[in-house]
Amino acid sequence: MTRLLVERLCRLVGVLALLVALVVHWRAARAARAGEAAVPTRRVVRLAEGAGPDSTARALVAVREALLAGAPAAGAADGATDAPDMATPLRDILPSRDTLALPLATVPAAAVRAGLGSVRASGVPLVWLDGTMARGVAASVTRAAVPGAPLDVRVAVSAGTSLTLADAGGVLDSVSTAQLVTTWRLRSAAAPLRVRQGRSAMSLPVPDSGAARRLLVLAEPGWEGKFVVAALEEAGWEVDGTLRVSPTGRVTIGEPARLDTARYAAVVVTDSMPVDGAALSQFVARGGGLLLGGDALRIPGLAALRPARATELRGAIAGGLLTASPRSGLEAWELAMTADALVLETDQSDHGHDEPALVARRVGAGRVVAMPYRESWRWRMQGSDDGMAAHRAWWQGAVALAVPAVGSAMPVAPDRYPGDRAPYADLVSRVGRAAPALREPPGGDPGGDDGRGVGDIPFVLRPWVLLLTTLLALLAEWGSRRLRGAR
């Protein structure tokens, strides 16, 4: 009785496995017929690993060769094929139901990305498969337009990602990011700078060091103008100056020239000497910087430019120049901020609240920065041992805020794509988002259940497993019957 039950179970398993195999095959065939017109045949072309700008033509020719594969060129004889005709539009070569799929192991160079964007814009169905391991990395390199300024390198990428920073001399640093933006400050670097994240890499130019333009200082003759000029020259600036000694007499420093953004990066006004407000307004609007110190905030001709208005004079704290907060030992103006002004730095006052130390506003294409302190020369001459260096660094930093930084960003192209500043985003902008991974069996024939690849079908439902199960079950049932003498 037990043997008979086993035989019946084996026969049932075999029949069920055969039925399941038929159902799976029927569903796959139905899905293939239903999607024959809707699901395109995907042709795969692989670009060369690490393709650069010099290989753009080769990469695009490879695309065309793949499209022409198997179709002899016009005029070919004896089965020979010629190189594809580059004048033939791609949309005339590619059948309308085909889609060109490009597996990319790295983010291509700028010229290759532009070429792929042109291919897609010409009407060719084009998708790409993301094997770059990139996370949309973007980077910038800037340097304050002051002599000796360090490089400010910033990279934006997902937290928990490994980044490598290198220059022409080799690897500078390798870190695992813990936040969205990672920052480096470099004293020097050999161009170009390279940032690598996964298989995504970008190359950035290094901005020129130092400032190519000069400063113009406008001041009354006295200690303030003299030592401000000295501090800026010690910091590396080339300074022109005009010191008004009488209503009609002036003393010049350097070679003062017509106020022009091509010659001057910024104008520094240290006190209440009369100035040409209209000329300074035009200078700032064209992209120049303007730094107002102390009593310059009370010049009537600069009322339309200043980011704050001086109201009451705040006295200096006796002995403050020798403390850890030396600017507390300077007389300063209380400030009434304009609506569009921005506080860049504050100092703790003796009243227990923060007082603005540097304020700024944008006027046209330029910036106006103001500080409330009068007679800052006392910090340099009457302060502690490091008073001279601290006074110089303060004025250098204030000028740097008034002068736009020099960046590595390329001019924005008319097409408004991100470009090399964000290569992954540039690729997505031109070609679209990456397609899901395409699983194709050899020969390009679709397979599987409901249009899935063979590897997506559960192991127990694969045709060869079901067939083997059927054969083994029927063989076991037949063997059992023979052993007990039945047919």
Which CATH number do you get for residue 159? 2.60.40
Q: What's the pLDDT at 348?
A: 81
Based on the fold, state whether residues 383 and 296 are members of the same structural domain. yes
In a domain, 315, yes or no: yes
**Mean per-residue pLDDT for 188-196?**
84
Please state, in angstroms and rounded to a whole number, the distance separating the CA atoms of residues 96 and 334.
73
In a domain, 410, yes or no: no
Boundaries of domain holding 181: 138-204
Q: For residue 174, give Cα distances in angstroms to 32, 49, 196, 414.
A: 49, 23, 9, 35
DSSP 435: B
Based on the fold, state whether residues 182 and 233 are members of the same structural domain. no
**Mean per-residue pLDDT for 310-322?**
89
**Mean per-residue pLDDT for 348-356?**
78
In a domain, 444, yes or no: no
In a domain, 409, yes or no: no
Please state, in angstroms and rounded to a whole number, the distance separating the CA atoms of residues 486 and 131.
61
Pick from 442, 327, 446: nearest CA to 382: 327
Based on the fold, state whether residues 127 and 143 are members of the same structural domain. no
In a domain, 416, yes or no: no
Based on the fold, state whether residues 394 and 455 are members of the same structural domain. no
CATH of the domain at 343: 3.40.50.880
SS (H, E, C) 83-110: CCCCCCCHHHHCCCCEEEEEEECCCCCH
Please state, in angstroms and rounded to a whole number, the distance separating the CA atoms of residues 182 and 164.
11
Number of domains in the chain: 4
In a domain, 352, yes or no: yes
Residue 443 has pLDDT above 70, yes or no: no
Pick from 243, 334, 242: nearest CA to 297: 334
pLDDT digits (tens, 9 = 90+) for 84-130: 343 345 555 554 456 677 777 777 777 778 888 887 887 777 778 77
Task: Say if residues 261 and 399 touch (Cβ distance below 8 Å).
Answer: no
In a domain, 413, yes or no: no
Torsion 362-368-373-374 (CA) sign: negative
Based on the fold, state whether residues 55 and 31 are members of the same structural domain. no
Q: What's the pLDDT at 45?
A: 54
User: Would you tell me how many other CB atoms lie within 10 Å of the CB of residue 13?
Assistant: 17
Q: Which ranges constitute the DSSP H helices of 328-386?
A: 377-382
Q: What's the pLDDT at 371?
A: 94
Q: For residue 459, give Cα distances in angstroms to 166, 455, 466.
A: 47, 9, 9
Please state, in angstroms and rounded to a whole number, the distance separating the CA atoms of residues 383 and 327.
10
Which of 204, 232, 261 is a domain's end point? 204
Chain-centre distance for alpha carbon 472? 61
Which of 177, 204, 231 is a domain's end point? 204
Region of poorest pLDDT, from 30-34, 188-192, 224-228, 364-368: 30-34
In a domain, 324, yes or no: yes
Tokens at 193, concatenated = 């700078």
Percent with pLDDT over 70 in the chain: 75
Confirm whether pTM is higher than 0.85.
no
Tokens at 206, concatenated = 């290094």
Torsion 381-387-392-396 (CA) sign: negative
Based on the fold, state whether residues 81 and 230 are members of the same structural domain. no
